Chains A and B, each alone.
Chain A
Amino acid sequence: MTPLATGLKGRSELGVALLLGAAGVVVFLDANGLVTPYSKSDPVGPKTVPFIVAGMLVACAVLLAINVLRGGKGEAEGGEDVDLTHPADWKTVLPLAGAFVANILLIDWAGWVISGTVLFWGSVLALGSRRYVRDGLISVALSLLTFYGFYLGLGIALPAGLLEGIL
């Protein structure tokens, strides 16, 4: 391994610093692009606060990078169902995110009942349940219940999509 790679190993938190820095630059450039004539009734203008925020972001990015390189480390958050002894389990997270994305793509076209079923079923599977039939039935029931619950109880019409006319 090159010395640089060794230095970066276990320092994934530098990515956070990078993100903060990038956000700072974006905020700065965006504000800099605003065209504002000087106005007596608004001496501060729409640029000042973005500039301050951009400055804070960049300052935090630099200080965080220094902190991490010196061995500082953010404490990962615990919780009832969180077991920090094993590393992040991407085989669970990525399919879960996949189910979420599927819902986004489907919701307007196929409607909530279908996309919601996909979302719940996919999530349950991703999280390790293996009772396919029972999970599927629960998913359909939940989607139907929320669809009608929102429509009748709250007056919010979720999209019916493909099932328009049936529901």
Chain B
Amino acid sequence: MDVWSSLMDGFATALTPMNFLYAVIGVILGTAVGVLPGLGPAMTVALLLPVTYALEPTSAFIMFAGIYYGGMYGGSTTSILLNTPGESSSVVTAIEGNKMAKAGRAAQALATAAIGSFVAGTIGTALLAVCAPIVVKFAVSLGAPSYFAIMVLALLAVTAVLGSSRLRGFASLSLGLAIGLVGMDSVTGQRRLTFGQPLLADGLDIVVVAVAIFAVGEALWVAAHLRRTPLHAIPVGQPWMGRSDWKRSWKPWLRGTAFGFPFGALPAGGAEIPTFLSYVTEKRLSKHPEEFGKGAIEGVAGPEAANNAAAAGTLTPMLALGLPTNATAAVMLAAFTSYGIQPGPQLFESQGPLVWALIASLFIGNLLLLIINLPLAPLWAKLLQLPRPYLYAGILFFATLGAYSVNLQAFDLVILLILGALGFMMRRFGLPVLPLVLGVILGPRIEGQLRKTLQLSAGDPAGLLGEPIAVGIYVIIAVILLWPFAFKLIRRNTPVAAASGAALATDADDAVHSNHNAVYSDHKEQP
């Protein structure tokens, strides 16, 4: 079956009245929860997971598609109207967006964000529909050695490239891998790290881990540092754009999409780098560079499009390889597994109708967002006024409910509290949470591929290099791990000595991140 006819089948599934209703519910729930301060898209998906348990997989994933884009969009509304973004990917949107809102142009800022998200999301989803089957075709030819290498690359890249301290990233990753070890070993059936506790034999439920780290950790952390005078949200009417706004927005939308999708699709892409690149590009190309820093619409249109295109891009490795590269995709992957669906290149074959229905509902969700959110924006803005005690008590309440309803055992709540405390500590001491969550999810699968590889080579470690793709990936891994050192050496103007293999030795900020931090600190200094 070719892409087109599969996609049309997908639309047929997604547009049945019941499934369409789930898409609408997903979009509204996703936006409503995403708008709430302190709740990013990943936490939104994690908290809403239990709602989907009673549904059959197809309907559940159609709802997810809505929640995914809804959560994304909700986050940008928050950052424009409140100025302090919860997600690193909306940091850039907040810079110009909040300036626009303060200057009385909140309606235009929200409109260009909404329409830009729609444009980028639609193009991104189309690219996903075209690219994913190609990646799958390439991926089915890969064996265990290559998979092992790709997964290691994804883990290391996320750990080493994102965040400001590599050392703390690796600490977080190691903790995640350790948590992933808990439970029965899949090959020999031996119990690892269960401490004689039978309830741990099946391992930790990934939903419980995700809710603990994202929701409980965040609620406890905010509680410890709650702002006594909540930020003032800027009231907003119906979003709209004038002629000149359209004229200034459409090119940044397209350029933002072009930045966002490829970065999202890369193992360590994420949305931070493309939103930042888009901002810099728009600033350079703009006919009104003097407006930047005072509320330039291009500075909202471009990064917001990049953010959404990256969100679509992220789904490419997620669906085609079973490889999550950001927190939201990681949680969605966990949802796949909880339905007994094995992620990976076989997914398109074994669950074809489901995957295409998911892709089709991404298109539908995108359109619904535009239709629903433009008129509902004033209502979303009101959600920002929710008293903080209710908001964070509510997060804890629903986190508990979600984690408990997975297995209906109080033991899971103990785990939730312990890991929530861990999440609190990580936020306190600057350990990024994403490497931990990816470590928990990918750890067991990496181990599986490693054992398969060495089983095929009868224990010979050379088997790891048995496929040319694998060798190529190890070269990339070496470059990622070593380039900050090489960069440092060049900057010091010393003759380039061989950078030693002590890859973990320092936690130097690399070039991208020192730029990045400039944006962050810039942003924090705003009044």
Contacts and interface: CB of A to CB of B under 8 A. Distances in A.
A56 B177 CA distance: 10
Given A53-B177, A74-B168, A158-B405, A123 B397 contact: yes
Interface residues of B, number: 84
Contacts of B230: 81
Contacts of B173: 56
Nearest to A73: B430
A118 to B, nearest CB: 11
A36 B420 CA distance: 34
A71 interface: no
Contacts of A92: 223-224, 226
Given A36-B190, A96-B396, A155-B54, A84 B410 contact: no
Contacts of A67: 167, 506-507
A97 to B, nearest CB: 7
Contact of A104 (B37, B86, B410, B504): B410
Contact of A90 (B175, B224, B450, B451): B224
B405 A150 contact: yes
Per DSSP, chain A at the interface is helix
Interface residues of A, number: 81
B188 A93 contact: no
Contacts of A108: 410
B84 A80 contact: yes
A42 B455 contact: yes
Interface string A69-97: 00011111111111110101110110011
B190 A60 contact: no
A30 B400 contact: no
Per DSSP, chain B at the interface is helix
Contact of B393 (A31, A127, A154): A127
Nearest to A62: B504
Interface in B450-485: 450-451, 454-455, 458-459
Contact of A60 (B174, B188, B396): B174
Given A50-B181, A60-B170, A100 B400 contact: yes
A88 B428 contact: yes
Interface stretch (B101-109, B234-242, B336-344, B383-391): B383-391
B447 interface: yes
Contacts of B218: 79
Given A81-B388, A116-B401, A138-B390, A42 B188 contact: yes
Interface string A43-73: 1111011100110110111011001000011
Contacts of B506: 67
A93 B225 CA distance: 9
Nearest to B195: A30
Interface string B73-92: 00000100010111000000
Contacts of A57: 171, 174-175, 178
A81 B427 contact: no
A86 B401 contact: no
A27 interface: yes
B51 interface: yes
Given A60-B171, A89-B224, A13 B429 contact: yes
A124 B430 contact: no
Given A60-B167, A76-B429, A127 B388 contact: yes
Contacts of B414: 104
Closest 6 CB pairs of A and B: A74-B430, A43-B459, A123-B393, A80-B37, A127-B389, A154-B54
Interface of B: 37-38, 50-51, 53-54, 78, 82, 84-86, 164-165, 167-168, 170-171, 173-175, 177-178, 181, 185, 187-188, 190, 192-193, 216, 218-228, 230-231, 387-394, 396-397, 400-401, 404-405, 408, 410, 413-414, 417, 420-421, 424-425, 427-431, 443, 447, 450-451, 454-455, 458-459, 504-507, 524
Given A31-B192, A90-B224, A120-B393, 17 more contacts: A30-B192, A44-B454, A46-B187, A49-B447, A49-B450, A50-B181, A64-B168, A74-B428, A74-B430, A78-B524, A79-B222, A81-B391, A81-B392, A88-B224, A96-B219, A100-B417, A127-B393
10 contacts: A16-B431, A43-B451, A74-B431, A80-B85, A89-B226, A92-B224, A104-B414, A127-B389, A129-B387, A156-B50
